[in-house]
Structure 1
């Protein structure tokens, strides 16, 4: 479930060509379970109609202090009540003109009046042409607005309406939603904690066109990375080959292929991390002598000599500091609990997450998972089948308990 579920969001839309993206932003917010009240400036109506945004938000759009009533009587759109109603206000796109007004307290329309009355967090997502965005007056206004406690959603680099390429492009709606989700998911205990996560399979080369791998999709590791990022942690994700999109724009992803590459990338980051979650499905064996040329089909029987890969969890477990928390995964098909406890001890984990392939809907490829977690004192926590995002939230809670004891 999104952290936006049930939240009341004021969305300010201003006069920018990027206003067309507000339609998608509203759709994503509503899909996340948020209530959205749209406020438009008069200039915004030149770029997108109030009817479009009202239809998507399922609420009337306000742009004036009064609206015509059904009997011709005026209805006051109380800017103070609107400001008090909201859990969060986001202005996207925020034009150079609107940023200048808000930075200096000008109040000549409903949007600026609501902004000045807001006691909730306010997010600003600028959108304008490259030279406007770089102009000293705009940069000064942005600094001034941030000094008031407003949160800035940085403009992105890309092609602009003028044909120029550079900064000034409105952040993509998915990125804005991720920022808002991260705001509501923040936990002080995770703020700026360095978290290292591995995810996905590894691929061990046989020749230039073939490899040995497994069925891991990376979904579980990516869900865990998203949960930590939204909780305020600084996340590094070392990922084997996966089609999963980057789960949060704030996450730093390092892409690898083989078990050796995963070890090298993880080992290089290990000492910086306070929390390490080893969710990747790493190959236990790799071909001893990969061929440089494609192997031709000749013999009816083909033997492949294999050698053990480095045990990443065991190696890092020997280097683990007392202030570090490490979490491992065990995917088992038999003697599940005994095997998981043995792995917990041997690899110096604080927590181990047990999956059984015998549980329907759990394991590789599914959007759901069913886990049992064992801590270093061998206490057992059993969870029902649920989405991998909710599994990640459960794991986050257990890590938080461990962190409070360090």
Structure 2
């Protein structure tokens, strides 16, 4: 018996799914199995506009004290790994891929893609990175009124929520105080100064000075400057952003245009202090974990302007029961089901399963759902990635259990 056959059984048509796209053929109801107390896995067929697709869902009950969600990532912002490898290394019992990311740099010859994600990220209460400008993001067009600062996260109160994480930071120098325009980001706003720490990794920082706030493909800036601060003092400077690992006691400041001109006023030996934090602009909550994407469902209603024409393999997360229940959804990428879902259909699927808030993550070849099988010590990939094998991705949502 195949893995899929072991989890599927044909049951009565669910009215909720029949309402998904109007008149549609009956869908198989989910066949569920518990992979840990408070964590379930199920897979089922779904009627969709472009034909039947197949979905995989992890259900997570955050009321269970032994269960939590956290960020899967490979130990650096500008790095990538498969979801199964990250989940295995961090001891997760399940998970899905996460945010969209800087996957290619064909518009900038000689500049390497960093692999860093688009939106903000928080791991174990620690801010990892801020959001790139809207015009610098990779992925489909954002729904009207949304921003690259949008996140799915879990607060220190253990409740899941959608929010917006804004960067709040300053650079204090003998010449005055400068606003911090970016934090471990693959793209900095025009005229700004960004900070890079050891969390960034070893990737080149040149990409941060390419493109503009409205045009990702625009040329790299010809006016850049980099200052290295160690132990609160400037130790070196360069006219070109560098690469390589950054020590724990070191911050590298990269400026472009007006930001570069301001950094040139700082001399070796000067005292420089850099502060940064990510502020939950919508709720003010303290988030222990967060990653980027974009909202598709709010207050139980799909957001206005969602694309309902383009079907694709998708990954998404839904929030139900006031933030105490989370649904991690991955559409199967096998050739039999690759027609997928539109973003509008994703929102309606999440709502049909009880979610009041929904959030889209990276899809296509990135879509991956892993879960621990009964009796196994590690996770296995449950969907069929559309590229045939798992794609290397920058982060994901991990499901953890101490049971």
Structure label with greater radius of gyration = 1
TM-score (normalizing by structure 2): 0.24
TM-score (normalizing by structure 1): 0.24
Give the structure with the larger helix fraction.
Answer: 1
Comparing both chains, which one has the higher relative contact order based on Cα–Cα distances under 8 Å and sequence gaps of 6 or more? 2
